[in-house]
Structure 1
Amino acid sequence: MSDPTDLPEGTGAVSPRRRRWRGVLIALLIVAALVATGGIIVGRYMHSLDSAYQKRTTVSLDKGSSDGDRKAGGSGQNILLLGSDKRSAQDAGSEGVSGQRSDAMMLVHIPADGGEAYIVSFPRDLYIDIPGHGKDRINSALAYGGLPLAVTTVENYTKTPIDHVALIDFDGIEGLVDSLGGVDVNVPESFERGGTTFTAGTQHLNGKEALTFSRERKHLSGGDFARNQNQQQLLKAVAMKLISGDTLSSPGKMRDTVTALSPYLTTDDGLTSQAIVKLGLSNRNLRGSDLHFLAAPHGDPATTSGGASVVASDEKGMDALRTALKEDNMEEYAKQIAD
């Protein structure tokens, strides 16, 4: 890789000293909730669940050149999931950006034949081109242009079309996890934060603890990369609880889950209740073992000429991922990178 100091200064780059503790939301919980909600339960209790779901915010996504080309015969579905820090106006102004940044970004690929899901996580500091704003961290796209620009940025980078997008801010974590009665998380590394001790191994977390667990990075040996691993562990735990038999068989629990999630959720206007039902029915047999968590290829940590800490891209590795997404061959891709 070239000398990190050769990287140009990013527009709106944020110094680590100026970052506050911000949440990193579990993005898969959105898909897990939607898939679980989209099964038989929705058919029986559509009215109450639909009323809760309508509390979300919607945005329109324009289809254009960034959508890329689909392989003939279908290439599955791609859903972009974002977790937002939703900073205050004062914080946003001091950092030279507006709105919110995506502190968690995952691309979920559901193959055309269904039955599995591949969840690819992107480092929040990945240094790539943001259309109209030059090179910057990938998480700045949301601040510069909301969900439409975030979608376009990822479509350009992955060279694959995105069918739907969903965003949730971290204020929704506590209510969601608590509505599930807590979750059992595999803690990779012991640490202490906010008066809570997280011990390596399986640990039951309530909503407040889950939020703290997903936000921590400075007390972890791997920093942001270790935090990404923690987020994935929390995602797995939430997904397992959502698709467990007792949750799916309880209309009350599903209603409470959707009610807790919806006020913090923003989706594209195409992700309607009907679309969710269709998605859920086509993936109603999805189980925890069918969820495959992957990390997007990336280079080493680097520093821009302006002193901003970023993560370099890995174009060779990304080309392999781009091909797998385009050809709907993520199963083979996952096997290759695991070898």
Structure 2
Amino acid sequence: MKKGVKITIAVIVSIILLLVAGGTIYTNSILGKIKKTELPKGNDSLGISKEKVVEKEKYKDKDVINIALFGRDGSDQRTDSIMVLTIDKINKKVKLTSLLRDMYIDLPGQGMGILNHAFMKGGSELAIKTINSNFGLDVQDYVAVNMDGFIHLVDLVGGVEINVEAEEIPYINSTAQGMAKERKYEAFKDVTKTGVQKLNGPQAMAYTRIRKVGRDFGRTARQREVLNYVFKELKGQGAIKALGAMTDILPYVETSLSNKDIIGLGTTLMGLDTNSIEEFRLPVNDAYKDEVIQGMFVMTVDLETNRNKLHEFIYGKLEP
């Protein structure tokens, strides 16, 4: 399998949080299927600097919650898909920020490197510390999901409706059939036409992996498109049916959130507008350069501009 066959499933954590709001014994039972990990609680260990989270201080405790979301295939610790899920209780919104993997930034204690190497070099702790220290956030928890969980999730909702462009077709077919053969999935037909159509799990995964059409900007936009579709489909099934379906996905999930945290956040999400997830991505236009450093094609970024734009998206424009 090619390295980089990965997708973060931001929607999985949102769905889990939304559907477990009841906090029943059954809920606690199925949440036991998730792999739990612990992160250090100190701000220094996670790169949380008081000077870099000025916006946070203007809110009451936990009014805006940021959770890191990582995607990998399990055989490789690099996280080629990285997002931040924001739960904004003040404005009753859910927000999703894609962090492009090729940003060349400081990996604390490791020197300069590309963002998707942070998890490989120091696990979830270094990955979160890298995000916080570079972009001035206060992330304290994460959810990681591997590729197979994403494929199963798409198939559980009966596929996703995507408007396929002509230049995307060959990449969808070659990648999807390769994954299906490797995992011994049942045979399925190739995509042969453009326009809106249903893609199954392997095809949807292949669609979200395309980088040669629109570069990484197009790839992360495709990820968010698929995740939004799945989120709406599962939410529309009703809590009991959707929660039952999610039991097949949970073994692919790893998180630092406790069951109590998940249930509490789920209750919060019930009162938010989850029908429309607001989207953003870093780096923003005109605040990065394409360069080749040590043989790597990377994005060097204007950290101040990107940090300010990210804070504005997450926290809004605040009065001094």
Question: Which TM bucket (shorter chain)?
Answer: 0.7 to 0.9
Q: Is the 8 A contact 1:26 1:234 kept in 2?
A: no
Q: Is the 8 A contact 2:94 2:274 kept in 1?
A: no
Offset, 1:266: 0.9
- 1:278-297 → structure 2 map (5 Å cutoff): 278-297=264-283
Q: Is the 8 A contact 1:126 1:312 kept in 2?
A: yes
* Aligned equivalent of 1:253: 242
Q: Is the 8 A contact 1:300 1:311 kept in 2?
A: yes
* Aligned equivalent of 2:69: 81
The letter for the 1-side match of 2:207 is F
Normalised TM-score (structure 2): 0.81
Identity among equivalent pairs (%)? 25
Q: C-alpha offsets along residues 44-82 of structure 1, whole Å, 9 cap, x if unaligned? A: xx3333222212222211122212333143351011111
* Aligned equivalent of 1:158: 135
SS at match of 2:90: coil
**What is the CA–CA distance in structure 2 between the aligned matches of 1:47 and 1:256, rounded to whole Å?**
17
Offset, 1:35: 2.8
Normalised TM-score (structure 1): 0.77
User: Does residue 197 of structure 1 match 2:183?
Assistant: no
Offset, 1:138: 0.3
Q: Is the 8 A contact 1:129 1:136 kept in 2?
A: yes
- 1:127-166 → structure 2 map (5 Å cutoff): 127-166=104-143
Q: Is the 8 A contact 2:89 2:272 kept in 1?
A: no
- Name stretches of at least 5 consecutive residues in structure 1 with no aligned partner: 1-18, 88-98, 334-339
Q: Is the 8 A contact 1:77 1:163 kept in 2?
A: no
* Higher deviation after alignment, 60-69 or 77-86: 60-69
Q: Is the 8 A contact 1:59 1:147 kept in 2?
A: no
Please point out which of 72, 97, 104 is paired with 2:81. 104
Return closer, same or farther for 1:217/1:153 CA change in 2, 3 Å cut-off: same
- 1:1-339 → structure 2 map (5 Å cutoff): 20=2, 22-39=4-21, 42-43=22-23, 46-62=24-40, 63-65=42-44, 66-69=47-50, 70-74=56-60, 75-87=63-75, 99-113=76-90, 115-187=92-164, 190-192=168-170, 193-194=173-174, 196-197=190-191, 201-218=195-212, 220=213, 222-244=214-236, 247-249=237-239, 251-257=240-246, 259-268=247-256, 271-298=257-284, 299-304=288-293, 306-321=294-309, 323-324=311-312, 329-330=315-316, 332=317
* Higher deviation after alignment, 276-285 or 132-141: 276-285
Q: C-alpha offsets along residues 107-142 of structure 1, whole Å, 9 cap, x if unaligned? A: 122223252112111111110011111111101010
Q: Is the 8 A contact 2:8 2:83 kept in 1?
A: no
**What is the CA–CA distance in structure 2 between the aligned matches of 1:212 and 1:190, rounded to whole Å?**
10
Q: Is the 8 A contact 2:8 2:81 kept in 1?
A: yes
Q: C-alpha offsets along residues 288-339 of structure 1, whole Å, 9 cap, x if unaligned? A: 54311111125132110x21111121224223135437xx623x59xxxxxx
Offset, 1:215: 1.9
Return closer, same or farther for 1:285/1:169 CA change in 2, 3 Å cut-off: same
* Higher deviation after alignment, 294-303 or 123-132: 294-303
**What is the CA–CA distance in structure 2 between the aligned matches of 1:173 and 1:323, rounded to whole Å?**
29
Paired residues, number: 288
**What is the CA–CA distance in structure 2 between the aligned matches of 1:282 and 1:155, rounded to whole Å?**
24
Q: Is the 8 A contact 2:95 2:278 kept in 1?
A: yes
* Higher deviation after alignment, 224-233 or 283-292: 283-292
**What is the CA–CA distance in structure 1 between the aligned matches of 2:215 and 2:70, rounded to whole Å?**
20
* Aligned equivalent of 1:10: none
Return closer, same or farther for 1:73/1:232 CA change in 2, 3 Å cut-off: closer
